[in-house]
Structure 1
Amino acid sequence: MYVDVGNALASAANPGVPEDALERLDDRVADAHDRIAAGMDADEFGYAALNLPETADADAIEAAVEPFADSETLLTVGIGGSALGAATLTEAVGGDIDAHVLDNVDPEHVEDLLADVDLSETAVHVVSRSGTTAETLANFLVVREAMAEAGVDWTDRTFVTTGPEGNLRDLADEHDLPALDVPEGVPGRFSALSTVALPAAALAGADVHEILAGGRDGMDALAGSLFDCPAYAYGATAYALDVRGAGVNAMMPYAEGLETFAEWFAQLWAESLGKDGLGQTPARALGATDQHSQLQLYRAGPRDKLVTLVRPRERADRGIPDSDLDGLDYLAGNTLGGLLDAEFEATEASLAESGVPSVRVEIPRLDERALGRLLFDFEAACVLAGELYGVETFTQPAVEWGKDAARGLLRGDEALPEKTELGVGDANDST
């Protein structure tokens, strides 16, 4: 992975980071790296995620999904980190299966999806560390019922990834379902390179060994200086910009296959760093689509944003046919890839011209190895940023409060705090 922070320096942007400030920050990066390395060596909670490229067993994952290799459709039933990694991998490098994620309990969406797939040709991967996640278990119960109604034996079409205890583990034991173990000491949002997400990639025809090899490339690139390590260069620069006023980080990949990667990044960055009144708010965009919407805000709106531009340097391409339409002569002899690269370069230059900080991230191409490296490096960047902020990167107490409150409402044994309401209109009025 290549990271260019030149357009985030104070000489190019406002807010920007002075070069001498980055050099001073590098001493803290060295200390943070030592802490990260020690955590990895001890396989400590959270830090163990950065060992996954070496500890994940690709052969065991491939063996677990082999009974479902004839499936036409994959339903990953999970939420948050139990789903976004799978969605990112299958969208970016999978193509041999129609992959879907049930990560929300919107009843209309669930009904439409189940009506649209052949459940007899569908593999269902249920993912929950605790085995008690309300949204995941609710969706799975609905899927199981739909299979029964369709005359499909759900036990033949289902496998799970879960912890050693809980409802999901009990269910797997009772019905002899194939079961993979969630990695110990790894929060869900850091689990993309594990049994949580890699089974989806394997079923989609991706090379799991190559994905993990890319992660190992990232491990090998970890170093005690942000000037020697792309992941740390990104994490340190994002942190330094945030404390100087760039409290929003707009992730803008220039590849359709990386659109869900931006969602994955948003959870990783928000849930890990949003603590103690600190943290950078992630925003999601897609190049070149959002040049026609969000770029106006980035250039001319509040000076509170870092824009992260991501692209593969190589991609399959298609020529643009010649046209006799007026004003399109500049497209003659060009390709869609060339146009997309021109849009990337123009956006980067546009941001620089207006003094908005941006960071360029490039990978060789969108394949398994590069994707594994990309995921690992952004996880390492997040852990490094957490060390610089001084927050508990691997916890999420604010999320847990909401989960507990929702369970209490469903049980009828808990009321939410009173809220001030100022409503306008009638929700039952269709006009």
Structure 2
Amino acid sequence: MEVTIESALAEHSPIGVPRADLEELDAAVRSAAERIATGREQDEHGYAALNLPDETDPEPIEAAVESVTPAENWLTIGIGGSALGAATITEALDGDGATYSLDNVDPAAIEALLADIDLSETAMNVVSRSGRTAETLANFLVVREAMETAGVEWTERTVVTTGESGPLATLADRHDLPTLTVPEGVPGRFSALSAVGLAAAAFQGLDLEAILAGGRQAEASLADSLFESPAYAYGATMYALEARGANVAAMMPYAESLEAFAEWFAQLWAESLGKDGRGQTPARALGATDQHSQLQLYRAGPKDKVVTLVRPRERPSVPIPETDQDAIDYLGGSDLRALIDAEFDATEASLRKAGVPAIRIEIDALDPAGIGELLYTMEAACIMAGELAGVDTFTQPAVEWGKDTARALLRGEQTLETVDGLSVRTGPESQ
């Protein structure tokens, strides 16, 4: 993997980072890298995530999946980090079988999905560390009832991924369900390289060991200098850009199969670093599609953004047929691979010309090792950015407040008026 920060430097952008500042920042990176290394050695909360490529064992994951298959469909029932890692891996790679993530409680979407798939050929993985996540449990209960109504024995089609105790752990014991463990000390958004993110990949027959090997490759590249570590270069540069006014972090992969990765990154960056009045707002874009929409804002709008461009170096070849139309004859005889790479290069040049900082990330290929390396690199980068910013990267108090409030509203223990002292409603019923 290669991380290139040239277009994020001050000579190319009014909010870019001066080279001299990076030299000074490297001393802080060295200190932060030592803190991260100590946290890993002691398996501290959060830092333990960077040990997952060495500690995750594919065998029990594969065994649990085999116990509820064969099946045509796999439902990951979770929310946030309990679902996004699995979606990122399975969408990035070309495996067998159809995978779905039930990570929202939109009744119309759930109803449509259950009507569309054959539940007799469906297995599900219910993922919640606490076993108390309202959205996850609600979706599980809905799917379970749908299976029962369809005459499907749900206990033969369910894998539970949870902590050592809680309602889901109790349920799994009661029904003798295959159970996978959410790793201790690892927040959900950092858990992609564990059973949380890998069960769906196992269902698709993907090479879990190769995914983990990619993570180990990224792990081996960690160093105590931003000039020697791709992950720390990215994290430190993003931190420095935020300090200079780049408050929006646009993630723009040039591969449709990495669209879920951009969503995963948005959660990782927002939930980890949005604290104490700090943090960059993630924006999700897709190259080359959003060159025809969002790029207008990035180039001509406020100079408050940094754009990360991601691409694999290896792509399939799809020739573009010859044409006798003079206006488009430059396309004939070329290749879609060459075209999307030209689009990528043009976007980077366009941003640089407009003075918008951009960071380029290139992975060798969209294969198991490549996606493992990409996920690990972003996690390590996020932890480095949090260390430099002095925030608690691994907590999410604002998220927990929202969860607690939703439960209280459902139980009738609170109303909107008692939650915030004010309820503003519109529509005929408020007249």
TM over 0.5: yes
Q: Give the equivalent residue in structure 2 for 1:33.
A: 33
Contact kept? 1:97, 1:203, Cα under 8 Å: yes
| Secondary structure of the corresponding residue to residue 170 of structure 1 | helix
1:183-222 pair list within 5 angstroms = 183-222=183-222
Q: Give the equivalent residue in structure 2 for 1:263.
A: 263
Q: Give the equivalent residue in structure 1 for 2:405.
A: 405
| Secondary structure of the corresponding residue to residue 313 of structure 2 | strand
Counting matched residue pairs gives 427
Deviation at 1:420, TM superposition (A): 6.3
Contact kept? 1:77, 1:140, Cα under 8 Å: yes
Contact kept? 1:307, 1:357, Cα under 8 Å: yes
Partners of 1:332 and 1:140 in 2: how far apart? Answer: 51
Deviation at 1:58, TM superposition (A): 1.1
Contact kept? 2:67, 2:178, Cα under 8 Å: no
Deviation at 1:326, TM superposition (A): 5.1
Contact kept? 1:94, 1:201, Cα under 8 Å: no
Q: Which residue type is aligned with residue 165 of structure 1?
A: S
Unpaired stretches in structure 1, ≥5 consecutive residues: none
Query: Does 1:417 pair with 2:420?
Result: yes
Partners of 1:322 and 1:140 in 2: how far apart? Answer: 52
Partners of 1:295 and 1:150 in 2: how far apart? Answer: 48
1:113-128 pair list within 5 angstroms = 113-128=113-128
So what's the TM-score if we normalise by structure 1?
0.97
Partners of 1:8 and 1:167 in 2: how far apart? Answer: 48
Q: Which residue type is aligned with residue 216 of structure 1?
A: R
Q: Which residue type is aligned with residue 418 of structure 1?
A: G
Partners of 1:383 and 1:83 in 2: how far apart? Answer: 21
Contact kept? 1:272, 1:396, Cα under 8 Å: yes
Q: Give the equivalent residue in structure 2 for 1:294.
A: 294
1:313-328 pair list within 5 angstroms = 313-325=313-325, 327-328=327-328
Contact kept? 2:251, 2:283, Cα under 8 Å: yes
Partners of 1:324 and 1:217 in 2: how far apart? Answer: 48
Q: Give the equivalent residue in structure 2 for 1:329.
A: 329
Contact kept? 1:78, 1:103, Cα under 8 Å: yes
Contact kept? 2:68, 2:159, Cα under 8 Å: no
| Secondary structure of the corresponding residue to residue 3 of structure 2 | strand
Measured at CA, do residues 427 and 120 of structure 1 come closer, stay the same or move farther in structure 2, by a change above 3 Å? Answer: farther
| Secondary structure of the corresponding residue to residue 227 of structure 1 | coil
Q: Which residue type is aligned with residue 6 of structure 1?
A: E
Partners of 2:127 and 2:371 in 1: how far apart? Answer: 22
Q: Give the equivalent residue in structure 2 for 1:369.
A: 369
1:129-278 pair list within 5 angstroms = 129-278=129-278
Identical residues among aligned pairs (%): 66
Partners of 1:104 and 1:301 in 2: how far apart? Answer: 32
- Which digits, 9 at most, give the CA deviation of each residue in 1:2-48, with x for residues without a partner? 00000000011121000000000000000000000000000000000
So what's the TM-score if we normalise by structure 2?
0.97
Measured at CA, do residues 210 and 70 of structure 1 come closer, stay the same or move farther in structure 2, by a change above 3 Å? Answer: same
Query: Does 1:343 pair with 2:343?
Result: yes
Partners of 1:326 and 1:99 in 2: how far apart? Answer: 44
Deviation at 1:426, TM superposition (A): 5.6
Q: Give the equivalent residue in structure 2 for 1:67.
A: 67
| Secondary structure of the corresponding residue to residue 319 of structure 1 | coil
CA RMSD of aligned residues (A): 1.3
Partners of 1:302 and 1:422 in 2: how far apart? Answer: 33
Deviation at 1:421, TM superposition (A): 3.4
Partners of 1:204 and 1:420 in 2: how far apart? Answer: 47
Partners of 2:125 and 2:327 in 1: how far apart? Answer: 51
Deviation at 1:143, TM superposition (A): 0.1
- Which digits, 9 at most, give the CA deviation of each residue in 1:147-190, with x for residues without a partner? 00101000011111000111111110011100011100000000
Partners of 1:153 and 1:421 in 2: how far apart? Answer: 46
Unpaired stretches in structure 2, ≥5 consecutive residues: none
Q: Give the equivalent residue in structure 1 for 2:303.
A: 303
Deviation at 1:418, TM superposition (A): 2.9
Contact kept? 2:78, 2:127, Cα under 8 Å: yes
Partners of 1:426 and 1:253 in 2: how far apart? Answer: 44
Q: Which residue type is aligned with residue 66 of structure 1?
A: E
Contact kept? 2:69, 2:157, Cα under 8 Å: no
Partners of 2:117 and 2:326 in 1: how far apart? Answer: 45
Deviation at 1:330, TM superposition (A): 1.1
Q: Which residue type is aligned with residue 187 of structure 2?
A: P
Query: Does 1:16 pair with 2:37?
Result: no
Measured at CA, do residues 359 and 177 of structure 1 come closer, stay the same or move farther in structure 2, by a change above 3 Å? Answer: same
Partners of 1:142 and 1:6 in 2: how far apart? Answer: 50
- Which digits, 9 at most, give the CA deviation of each residue in 1:203-250, with x for residues without a partner? 112100000001111111110000000000000000000000000000
Partners of 2:5 and 2:172 in 1: how far apart? Answer: 48
| Secondary structure of the corresponding residue to residue 320 of structure 2 | coil
